Amino acid sequence: MGARRGASVLEVLGFTKKFGDFVAVDSLSFEVRRGDVYGFLGPNGSGKSTTIRAIFGLVEPTEGEIRLLGRPSGGPGGREGVAGFVDMPGFYDYLSARDNLKVLAAADRRKGEPPMTRVLETVGLLGRERDKVKTYSTGMKQRLAIASALLREPEVLILDEPTNGLDPGGMRDVRALIRRLNEDGLTIFLSSHLLAEVEQLCNRVAVIGHGRLLAEGTIAEVVGGDNGRPGYRLVVDDAMSALRILQGTTHVTGASVAEPPDGLGGEEIRLAVGPEGPGPVVRDLVAGGVAVLALVPSRPSLEDLFLELTEEIS
Q: Is 58 in the site for another protein (CB under 8 A)?
A: yes
Q: Which of residues 104 and 222 has its CB atom nearest to another protein in the complex?
A: 104
Q: Is 63 in the site for another protein (CB under 8 A)?
A: no
H/E element, 309: helix 302-312
Listed in sequence order, the residues at least 6 apart from 119 whose beta carbon sits closer than 8 Å to its beta carbon are: 101, 147, 148, 150, 151
CB 169 within 8 A of CB 124: no
Distance of closest approach, residue 89 Cβ to another protein, in angstroms:
5
Q: Is 134 in the site for another protein (CB under 8 A)?
A: no
CB 132 within 8 A of CB 145: no
Q: Which of residues 151 and 208 has its CB atom nearest to another protein in the complex?
A: 151
Q: Which of residues 21 and 259 has its CB atom nearest to another protein in the complex?
A: 21
Q: Is 273 in the site for another protein (CB under 8 A)?
A: no
* Helices 279-287/239-247 angle, 10° precision: 120
Q: Which of residues 148 and 164 has its CB atom nearest to another protein in the complex?
A: 148
Number of residues that bind another protein (CB under 8 A): 34
Half-sphere exposure of 208 (CA within 13 A, CB side): 27
Nearest Cα to Cα of residue 214 among 313, 302, 66, 67: 313
Q: Is 137 in the site for another protein (CB under 8 A)?
A: no
Listed in sequence order, the residues at least 6 apart from 94 whose beta carbon sits closer than 8 Å to its beta carbon are: 132, 133, 134
**Amino acid at the residue 84:** G
Q: Is 115 in the site for another protein (CB under 8 A)?
A: no
Distance of closest approach, residue 205 Cβ to another protein, in angstroms:
23
Q: Which of residues 159 and 223 has its CB atom nearest to another protein in the complex?
A: 159
Q: Is 154 in the site for another protein (CB under 8 A)?
A: no
248 vs 246: CA distance, rounded Å = 5
The residue within the footprint of another protein, chosen from 57, 162, 231, 266 (CB under 8 A), is 57
Q: Is 157 in the site for another protein (CB under 8 A)?
A: no
Q: What residues from 73 to 112 belong to the interface with another protein (CB under 8 A)?
A: 76-77, 79-80, 83-95, 99, 102-104, 106-110
User: 57: helix, coil or strand?
Assistant: coil
H/E element, 312: helix 302-312
Distance of closest approach, residue 37 Cβ to another protein, in angstroms:
20
Q: Which of residues 101 and 242 has its CB atom nearest to another protein in the complex?
A: 101
Output Rg (C-alpha) for the chain, integer angstroms: 24
301 vs 222: CA distance, rounded Å = 10
Q: Which of residues 148 and 163 has its CB atom nearest to another protein in the complex?
A: 148
Residues that bind another protein (CB under 8 A): 53, 56-60, 76-77, 79-80, 83-95, 99, 102-104, 106-110, 148, 152
